[in-house]
Each structure stands twice: as C-alpha cells, then as structure tokens.
Amino acid sequence: MSAHGRRLRLGFVMDPLPAINIDKDTTFVFLLEAQSRGHEIFYLAPRDLALLRSTPQAGFRPLTVRRKSGDHFTLGEPRREDLTWFDAVFLRKDPPFDLDFFFDTHIASMIDQRRTLVINDPRGLREANEKLYALHFPEVIPDSLVTSSVARLKEFLVELGGDMIVKPLDGCGGSGVFHLHRADRNVNAILESITTNNLRPVMAQRYIPEVRTGDKRIILIDGKPRGAILRVPSAEETRSNLHVGGSAVACEMTVRDHEICDRIAPKLRQDGLVFVGIDVIGDYLTEINVTSPTGLQEITQLYGTRLEVEMIDWVERAAAGLDRKGAQPVAR
C-alpha cells in the first residue's frame, strides 16, 4: 500500500508484453514495484488511446506481473474509461519516436494533469528529441552539427581534424551510428546514405576517444542523478549500447557528471521530464533519453540499488497532491 495511504490506478502505455525482456526491461520493474505496494496496474497498448470529442480515453486491461520467464504476465478483461480514471499514466513505448507515438502524445496532452499524472509529460516528449534536446546545453556537449548537406558534413569532418560521429535524428540503441575518418573511401557513400542524398538531416559530433573506456548512462529522477552505469563497447564496436554487445560495469559519478546534471535539471523539470537517462562520454553530454530510458536492472545488479522504488515513491508523493474529486473509487 502507498506510504500516503491510497491505492493508485497506474496505466502503462508500453510495447507488447510478450516481447519484453524481464531481466532488462525498466518498465517491468516499475510494474513489479507498483504491484508489490498494492496499486492496481493496467496495460495500455499504444494504439488503444483515443479522443471522444475532447476527452482522452483508452482501452486497457488489468495486469498482473511476476518474474517468471515465459510466464511473466496475466491480463484481465478489457475495458474502456476516460484517462482521468487513472491516478497516473506512464508513457513508456520504446523508441524510435514514430508518428504513432507522436499522435499518442497529442492525445495524452488532453489529460487534465491536475487530476492525473502523465510520466513523462507528453509535451516534453514531443520537445525532447533524444539527439537534438542536448543542443539546449552547448557548454556541456561536444562540437555538433545538424544538417542534411553532405558537403557541409564533409567540411565539418575536416574542421574536427578528420574524425567524427554521425547519427540519424530518429535512431535509437546505436542504430545508424557511424564513426567516420577523413581517409576512409566510404565517407561519401555513408553520408549520402544516412542523409538520403541531402534530404534527411543528421547529427554529426566530434569523436570523443574516451568512448573506448565507456559511455556512462546516468539515471535522473525529477532532475536528480540517482544512479549510473558505464557501458563499455566490445573490441570490434564503436557503439557501447548493451544490446549490440556493450558490457555494463560499475562506475563513480565525477564532479563533471554532477555539473552536467545540475545544468540540465531546471529544463527537465520545466518540460515535465521526470524519468530521464542521459549519456555522458568523457566530459561531454551526448544524448538525453526521455522516451523509455533503460538501465535500472543493470544498476540493481551492480550496486543493489533499486531505483524503481524511488520512482514509485515519487509517483505516490505527486499523486497525493492530485484533485481526484469525482474519480470513481478503486475497487477493494
């Protein structure tokens, strides 16, 4: 039961349950923790959101979860309610941020957040492209260029000394990331491909050699750093993402890491981005992940720290301040 004495209804907009990896998925441990406290949890498929006139609604199913591989969930009978029936709605669809999710954020924006929490805020999710959002903080990011021009990208490569990273603006998990060298004969072909022949903007950044020792994922809850892991690339990879062979190892947060977190925290709070994962290489912020950040289970394995406890604590505190007048009581 909630420390604030109220059983909550928590809806989770997320990808199909059969496909999740229960040993890696962050949403899964949110579900387990909320369920363990006696809260009601519900599964909402991304395409189940709707608007009736100006009222946001959803089809959903009650959910029970357990840490049992191959038998990790049970769904109850489907029903439909206005989204303000929930105390909180988690928008946790995995990237990439596509048009379906874009429209879901518009529907979720119609929720009266005086009555129902939405995590993360749908307006913030639309604003915070996970590559571009970091450009709000030029003093803590590497030299960066966003353009669709192959010629300009080649000029930038020379300006950086012949070494740079290029990545698509809608990529995730390291997909489409290239480490370019000026002497590589494939530079033209790679840039033409990634920009679709000067039609599609991409991000180019200075290559940071410290990536060989690891890319640090830092989890922030309400703007505060709560845990970190170092993702170390394999010998044959530039990318350190765990699902392409990177390894998670324990690490300490540096003074510079805290400076970066302090710099970005006010805007994260302003944009309603409560649960965030940032990527730091060396002394530089490279990405701000807001759609469905991961890393909690690795943090638990390395340190024993269960950040899902802190996240559900935050939800309970925030829900205590909601105006739930007129909401149907939770069944006991």
- What pLDDT is attached to residue 150? 97
Strand 202-206 and strand 178-181: pairing? unpaired
Q: In percent, how much of the chain has pLDDT > 70?
A: 92
The pLDDT of residue 267 is above 70: yes
The pLDDT of residue 331 is above 60: no
Backbone φ and ψ for 4, nearest 5 degrees, come out as -95, 10
> Which homologous superfamily is 210-305 in?
ATP-grasp fold, B domain (3.30.470.20)
Half-sphere exposure of 68 (CA within 13 A, CB side): 7
Strand 9-13 and strand 88-91: pairing? parallel
The pLDDT of residue 214 is above 70: yes
Q: Where are the domains of the chain?
A: 9-119, 143-207, 210-305
Asked whether the beta carbons of 31 and 63 are under 8 A apart, the reply is yes
Entry pTM = 0.91
Burial class (CB in 10 A: 0-12, 13-18, 19+), 255: exposed
CATH assignment, 143-207: 3.30.1490.20
Distances (CA, A) of 89 to 60, 96, 262, 271, 311: 12, 20, 27, 17, 13
The pLDDT of residue 245 is above 70: no
Residue-wise pLDDT for 271-303, tens only, equals 999 999 999 999 999 999 999 999 999 999 999
- What pLDDT is attached to residue 26? 96
**Residues that are catalytic:** 131, 167, 217, 231, 239, 279, 287, 289
- What pLDDT is attached to residue 85? 96
**Between 237 and 137, the higher pLDDT residue:** 137
Provide mean pLDDT across the span 32-59.
94
Distances (CA, A) of 189 to 147, 149, 157, 175, 323: 16, 13, 15, 17, 57
Provide mean pLDDT across the span 181-209.
95
Q: In percent, how much of the chain has pLDDT > 90?
A: 79
Residue-wise pLDDT for 49-60, tens only, equals 999 999 999 999
With CA atoms as reference, report the closest residue to 143 among 79, 203, 202.
Answer: 203
The pLDDT of residue 158 is above 50: yes
Q: Do domains 143-207 and 210-305 have the same CATH topology?
A: no
Q: How far apart are CA 138 and CA 256, in angstroms?
A: 15
- What pLDDT is attached to residue 179? 93
Q: Predicted confidence band at 170 (pLDDT cuts at 50, 70, 90)?
A: confident
Q: State which CATH number among 3.40.50.20, 3.40.1800.10, 3.60.40.10, 3.30.300.30 fits the domain covering 9-119.
A: 3.40.50.20
